[in-house]
Amino acid sequence: MSKSDAILQGTLHVLILQILSLEPMTGWSVSARLRQMSNETLHVSHGSLYPSLHKLEQQGWITGEWKESATGRQVKFYSLTRAGRAHLRKETDSWARLSTAVNGILGLS
Amino acid sequence: MRWLRIILLRWRSITRQRDLDHDLDAEFASHVEQETSDLIARGVPPSEARRLAVASLGRATAAREECRDARGVALWDEIAQDLKFSFRLFLRNRLFSAITLGTMALAIGSTSAVFGLFDAVLLRPLPFADPARLYDASSLGMRGPFDMMRANAKSADYAAHNGARAFNLAGKDWPERISGSEVSTNFFQTLGIPPALGRPFTASDHRAVILSHDLWLQRYAANPAIIGQSIALDEFPHEVVGVMPPGFSHPSPEIRLWTPLRLDPAKAGEYWGSGGVTVFARLRSGVSPAEAAAELRGWIPRIRQSFPWRMPDAWGADAALTPLRDHLVAGARLRSYLLLGVVALVLLIAVVNVANLLFGQAAARERELALRVSLGASPARLLRQMITEAVALALAAGAAGVLLAFQQLHLLKFVLPADTPRLAEAVIDLRVLAFTALISLGSGLLFGLLPAWQSHRLSRIPSAGAPLIFVESAFATILLVGAGLLLNSLWNLLAVNPGFQPDSIVTAELSPSRTLTSSALWNQLQPNLAAYPGVRVAAAANTLPLTGEFSAFTAALEDHPRPAKDPQISLWHTSISVQHLDALRIPLLTGRAFTSADSAAAAPVVLISRSTAEKFWPGANPVGRRLRPVWEPKWRTIVGVVDDVKSFTLTGLPAWAEGHVYTPLPQSVGTPPKLGLLLRVDGDPAGLLKHLPRLVNEVCSQCAVSKISQMETIVAASAQASRSLASLVAAFALLALLLSAAGIYGVVNHGVLRRSRELGIRRALGARGTHLAWAVLRPSLFYSIAGAAAGLAASVTLSRMIQPLLFGVPAVDPFSFTVAPLVLVLAAAVATLPPLVRALRIDPARTLREG
């Protein structure tokens, strides 16, 4: 795992929460959305996506539920819990503060 | 909410692991499917699409493991693995494991039971309202001083009781003797416990009674209509004004009713002298103990001057307020600490033994552990395994210990004297269970960390047994010394000559009636009792010897005036019938005994004991000298001297009693509220024991008999406190000795097993058997002797602390301090024998073949 990947690991959780804050979706949809939203910059191995999802579930930020999909199969839909929503807000705020500060130092703004 | 969810999820991930693994597979499958159809939609050929989709998951098994880790499964898996593994190891070493677990359970059980006792006696607040504000003020001690404080104190409310005494409660056929207490009318309010039914006493109550819950249930079928009714108590009608809640029996467990305490200044002897009471106080709100004590001390000079006779200047100098709880349990404090200390040492020895067992396992697993380290197990992981094992073992032992604790507390209550304060309050409850859980966990961590710490330093393993032998020997020696001291003390106590012959004497207590005073009753009863077949002598006294009852008065001796600044003379007082000396076979040394001519109307006479004569009239004949209670004008003449008798306890009179005086029953100092009967009989007393109540009833239908017993039983009971303490400590010392011997055996045996190759080679090279034996024996012998020496050194300090419990034994008692270490070293040597024999039987040829 490269160093930039490691940074990504830390932020991956926030990104997942952000994606799930829009609507409940399956693991696969989360990965597809991740790819889409970041213009393919953030290529998350699906292998590392699922452990993250499970970790978030264990933390109580998100909850998984088995439902029937459009194609009639049983798939697991993840959605944000109330605690997860609060957590996301907190993380977003601190991310904003951090990036403002880092941008300031790097002379980007 | 979130935490609840997390806990539920964790729980699910442990209990429903299979389902969740299945879910995970299903989730992966649906991912592959969606990815495949997505790829196909983007134009990838179907066969290729599926391969790419599977590949996009990465290494599936790795991802799956990571997901399981994310669920927190790994930790539980590992712990379950550890437990399974250690369980198998324990099974391999079945006998030793069972013994270790058993002793551990026994030690935890004993510690919990004794803690239950300790908690009830010393730690729990008294079962009264706001008990921290209750203080003992028994230095006041008499009705007059109490009455003055009650009426005048501003900082505290003073209340009093006169202990326990027997009342004649009228029954259907004949009265029953019931224990009750006379209490000041503010007694219940001061304790803050109102009656469950009715009302407390008021200042105007005179002939009133409050019943205990027990008495109300048993005698009055819990009828609430009893309130307001009249019951006959000592033949006077008393109005029942209240019933106390269940469990309330202050000031002593046998109390079943309360009546108002008489505070009559006109009865000067009772009010200022013989009618002693126990005084306590409740601080008013906002008052500190120091302020209340200062007020009390301020009143002392005024109270002293209010006495109708001159009190010594020193009277009241010791007046103080001590927390009521400390005062009530004072007699049991040292015993409780001693017992807790003893079981704590036994527990520590058991812990060391278990540490040794686990340590042996760790050593046996050296190779396994090394292999696991080389395969990548972290040291933290191995440490966790050892601690898991230890804690599991400790909790199992703790669970078994709890079951034992119930039994042991039962046993303790049975063995300990019934008058141990607050004994009835001792229970195994949540507090005690929490304590048990704590010590189980604590000892688990202790015996888990010890070997783990040792195996961390692998090079030190061979010497690990030595500190163990040392520690166990030291602890066991301390306990053996303690047991030796207490047994020696008990031996001295049992060897005490009570000064009378207790064999073949039937005893009983009797309450006289209103119309028949003690002496008149005795005059009528004596011929009937003496005529009963088998009775040789029938005698009576105000108190029976060795029952621990107080009977004393403040005296003036005609030729020994005390300066006012000195404490007055207190004399122990026994009021006896003419036959008393004969019945107990107390020798008359000089002068004459009492005769029937010494009546109430005759000139007052007394007998004194030998040591009283020696103290006040050394070398002179005391016959003809005179003494009197301080409140009486008339002198009483000494007519004879009798040999010393242990009247109060086997250890003698209380320290404050300066002598022992006998008065004839008709001339008793104060009217005896009861009679103790002493009947010397020939042969089997069973018939007499049965017929005694009827014999008494024929003479006096209103008189009640109780406590029918035998003098030998009373003598044995008077040593009960010492006997129970000595036997408990001795039993625990024996247990400690066995545990240490087992521990030493384990260490040495393990050493021989490990060194069998070395010993075999030395044998093959021609080493003599004695040399090898010495090589095995030396370290264990050395460390057990060193441990015994350390134990003796600690015992010098510890035995001084229990000195107040000893009788006729110096704190550093040569007997205990010699025998204890000898017994220990002997036990250590015996424990070393089996491994020694094994060492000598090692076959050098086989060692060389296998080597």
The 10s digit of each residue's pLDDT in B547-588 is 888 888 888 888 888 877 777 788 999 999 999 999 999 999
Specify the DSSP element, H or E, that contains B22.
Answer: helix B17-41
Contact between B556 and B730 under an 8 Å Cβ cutoff? The reply is: no
Locate tokens 């070398």: which residue?
B619
SS3 for B167-233 is: EEECCCCCCEEEEEEEECCCHHHHHCCCCCEECCCCCCCCCEEEECHHHHHHHHCCCHHHCCCEEEE
Take residue B80 and report the two structure tokens written for it.
Answer: 């379950």
Backbone Cα Rg of chain B:
37
| pLDDT, averaged across chain B | 84
Q: Considering only alpha carbons, which residue of chain B is nearest residue A68? A: B30
Relative to beta strand B505-511, strand B605-609 is unpaired
- Chain B interface includes A79 (CB < 8 A): no
pLDDT tier for residue B466 given thresholds of 50, 70 and 90 = confident
Q: What is the pLDDT of residues B290-306, one digit of tens each?
A: 888 888 888 888 888 88
- Chain A interface includes B536 (CB < 8 A): no
CA distances from B121 to A100, B361, B652, B721, B806 (A): 66, 42, 27, 16, 21
Are A26 and B34 inside 8 Å of each other by CB?
yes
Does residue A6 carry a pLDDT above 80?
A: no
Of B1, B13, B56, the CB nearest to A46: B56
- In angstroms, the CA A12 to CA B462 distance is 52
Are A60 and B9 inside 8 Å of each other by CB?
yes
- In angstroms, the CA B609 to CA B659 distance is 7
pLDDT, mean of residues A11-34 = 84
- In angstroms, the CA B814 to CA B809 distance is 9
DSSP SS3 for B628: strand
CA distances from A36 to A39, B48, B586 (A): 5, 22, 113
One-letter amino acid for residue B348 of the chain:
L
Contact between B355 and B446 under an 8 Å Cβ cutoff? The reply is: yes
Query: Whose CA is closest to B732, among B66, B33, B103, B55?
Result: B103
pLDDT, mean of residues B675-701 = 85
Partner residues linked to B680 by β-bridges: B505, B537
Backbone torsions φ then ψ of B563, nearest 5 degrees? -60, 150
Contact between A85 and A25 under an 8 Å Cβ cutoff? The reply is: no
Take residue B471 and report the two structure tokens written for it.
Answer: 């520690």
B15-24, B584-593, B792-801, range with the lowest pLDDT: B15-24
Sequence-distant (≥ 6) Cβ neighbours of residue B759 within 8 angstroms: B752, B772, B775, B776, B839, B842, B847
Q: At CB < 8 A and 24+ separation, what contacts does B453-456 make?
A: B454/B359, B454/B362, B455/B359, B455/B362, B455/B363, B455/B366, B455/B369, B455/B386, B456/B379, B456/B383
Find chain A residues with C-beta within 8 A of B1's C-beta.
82-83
Q: Considering only alpha carbons, which residue of chain A is nearest residue B71? A: A58
CA distances from B476 to B10, B149, B342 (A): 46, 53, 10
- In angstroms, the CA B676 to CA B647 distance is 13
CA distances from B417 to B21, B423, B654, B717 (A): 63, 9, 20, 8
Are B31 and A83 inside 8 Å of each other by CB?
no
B317-321, B383-387, B610-614, range with the lowest pLDDT: B383-387
Furthest CA-CA distance within chain A: 53
Take residue B386 and report the two structure tokens written for it.
Answer: 């050892």
Query: Whose CA is closest to B350, among B472, B482, B477, B474?
Result: B472
Relative to beta strand B208-211, strand B257-260 is antiparallel
Are B69 and A27 inside 8 Å of each other by CB?
no
Contact between B609 and B698 under an 8 Å Cβ cutoff? The reply is: no
Find chain B residues with C-beta within 8 A of A75's C-beta.
27, 30, 34
B309-313, B471-475, B620-624, B747-751, range with the lowest pLDDT: B309-313
Domains (range + CATH), chain A? 3-106 (1.10.10.10)
Q: How confident is the model at residue B826, as a pLDDT?
A: 92
Locate tokens 């009715």: which residue?
B198
Q: How confident is the model at residue B151, as a pLDDT?
A: 86
Q: What is the pLDDT of residues A69-105, one digit of tens each?
A: 777 778 888 998 888 898 888 888 888 888 888 888 8
- Chain A interface includes B54 (CB < 8 A): no
Pinpoint the alpha helices (H) of B495-566: 518-531
Does residue B651 carry a pLDDT above 70?
A: yes
- Chain A interface includes B56 (CB < 8 A): yes
pLDDT, mean of residues B807-823 = 89
In angstroms, what separates the C-alpha of A63 from chain B's closest C-alpha?
10
Does residue B257 carry a pLDDT above 90?
A: yes
Pinpoint the alpha helices (H) of B668-719: 686-699, 711-718
Pinpoint the alpha helices (H) of B416-463: 430-456
pLDDT, mean of residues B532-546 = 90
In angstroms, what separates the C-alpha of B117 from chain A's closest C-alpha?
46
Q: How confident is the model at residue B821, as a pLDDT?
A: 92
Q: How confident is the model at residue A2, as a pLDDT?
A: 41
For chains A and B, CB pairs below 8 A equal: 81
Are B3 and A48 inside 8 Å of each other by CB?
no
B40-44, B354-358, B635-639, B733-737, range with the lowest pLDDT: B354-358
- In angstroms, the CA B126 to CA B105 distance is 31
Of B6, B23, B27, the CB nearest to A59: B6
Find chain B residues with C-beta within 8 A of A74's C-beta.
26, 30
- Chain B interface includes A48 (CB < 8 A): yes
Query: Whose CA is closest to B383, among B317, B449, B462?
Result: B449
DSSP SS3 for B77: helix
- Chain B interface includes A59 (CB < 8 A): yes
Does residue B462 carry a pLDDT above 80?
A: no
Q: Considering only alpha carbons, which residue of chain B is nearest residue A74? A: B30
- Chain A interface includes B69 (CB < 8 A): yes
Furthest CA-CA distance within chain B: 136
Q: How confident is the model at residue B474, as a pLDDT?
A: 92
Contact between B576 and B593 under an 8 Å Cβ cutoff? The reply is: no
- In angstroms, the CA B600 to CA B634 distance is 13
- The DSSP code for B652 is B
Does residue B62 carry a pLDDT above 90?
A: no
Handedness of CA B528, B529, B532, B535 (dihedral sign): negative
**Better-predicted residue by pLDDT, B440 or B317:** B440
Contact between B425 and B131 under an 8 Å Cβ cutoff? The reply is: no
Of B5, B6, B30, the CB nearest to A73: B30
Q: How confident is the model at residue B463, as a pLDDT?
A: 47
Contacts with A, B 515-534, CB within 8 Å: none
Q: What's the distance, CA A94 to chain centroid?
A: 16
Most confident of A37-46, B615-624, B754-763: B615-624
- Chain B interface includes A35 (CB < 8 A): no
Of B6, B56, B62, the CB nearest to A60: B6
Sequence-distant (≥ 6) Cβ neighbours of residue B23 within 8 angstroms: A66, A76
B67-81, B320-334, B702-716, B767-781, range with the lowest pLDDT: B67-81
**Per-residue b/e over B513-527, b at no fewer than 16 CB within 10 Å?**
beebbbbbbbbebbe
**Better-predicted residue by pLDDT, B702 or B187:** B187
Q: What is the pLDDT of residues B712-735, one digit of tens each?
A: 888 888 888 888 889 899 999 999
Of A47, A54, A60, the CB nearest to B70: A54
In angstroms, what separates the C-alpha of A51 from chain B's closest C-alpha?
4
- Number of Cβ atoms within 10 Å of the Cβ of B337: 15
Q: What's the distance, CA B406 to chain centroid?
A: 15
- In angstroms, the CA B794 to CA B264 distance is 56
Most confident of B220-224, B425-429, B512-516: B220-224
Of B30, B60, B66, the CB nearest to A75: B30
Are A76 and B38 inside 8 Å of each other by CB?
no
> Angle formed by the axes of helices B720-754 and B465-494, to 10°?
160
- In angstroms, the CA B259 to CA B496 distance is 40
Q: How confident is the model at residue B10, as a pLDDT?
A: 67
DSSP SS3 for B510: strand
- In angstroms, the CA A33 to CA A19 distance is 7
In angstroms, what separates the C-alpha of B25 from chain A's closest C-alpha?
11
Q: How confident is the model at residue B61, as a pLDDT?
A: 62
Are B58 and A73 inside 8 Å of each other by CB?
no
pLDDT, mean of residues B809-819 = 89
Are A27 and B6 inside 8 Å of each other by CB?
no
Are A47 and B28 inside 8 Å of each other by CB?
no
Q: What is the pLDDT of residues B379-420, one digit of tens each?
A: 666 777 777 777 888 888 888 988 988 988 888 888 887 777
Backbone Cα Rg of chain A:
15
Q: Is the peptide bond before B145 cis (omega within 30 degrees of 0)?
A: no
Q: How confident is the model at residue B361, as a pLDDT?
A: 67
- Find the Cα–Cα–Cα–Cα dihedral B347, B353, B355, B359, rounded to 10°: 180
CA distances from A19 to A30, A58, A79, B183 (A): 7, 18, 10, 80
- Number of Cβ atoms within 10 Å of the Cβ of B662: 25
In angstroms, what separates the C-alpha of A84 from chain B's closest C-alpha?
9
The residue of A48, A58, A65 whose CB has the most chain B CBs within 10 angstroms, and thus the best one to mutate to test that interface, is A58
Contact between B120 and B425 under an 8 Å Cβ cutoff? The reply is: yes
Query: Whose CA is closest to A13, among A51, A65, A41?
Result: A51
Q: Where are the domains of chain B?
A: 2-71, 131-328, 330-494+720-850, 513-702
| pLDDT, averaged across chain A | 78
- Number of Cβ atoms within 10 Å of the Cβ of B21: 15
Find chain B residues with C-beta within 8 A of A46's C-beta.
31, 35, 56-58, 63
The residue of A25, A40, A43, A50 whose CB has the most chain B CBs within 10 angstroms, and thus the best one to mutate to test that interface, is A50
Helices H / strands E in chain A, number of each = 4, 3
- Chain A interface includes B14 (CB < 8 A): no
Contact between B276 and B142 under an 8 Å Cβ cutoff? The reply is: yes
Take residue B115 and report the two structure tokens written for it.
Answer: 């803690």
- In angstroms, the CA B792 to CA B582 distance is 50
Find chain A residues with C-beta within 8 A of B73's C-beta.
none
Q: What is the pLDDT of residues B151-182, one digit of tens each?
A: 888 888 999 998 888 888 887 667 788 889 99
**Better-predicted residue by pLDDT, B800 or B86:** B800
- Chain B interface includes A33 (CB < 8 A): no
- Chain A interface includes B707 (CB < 8 A): no
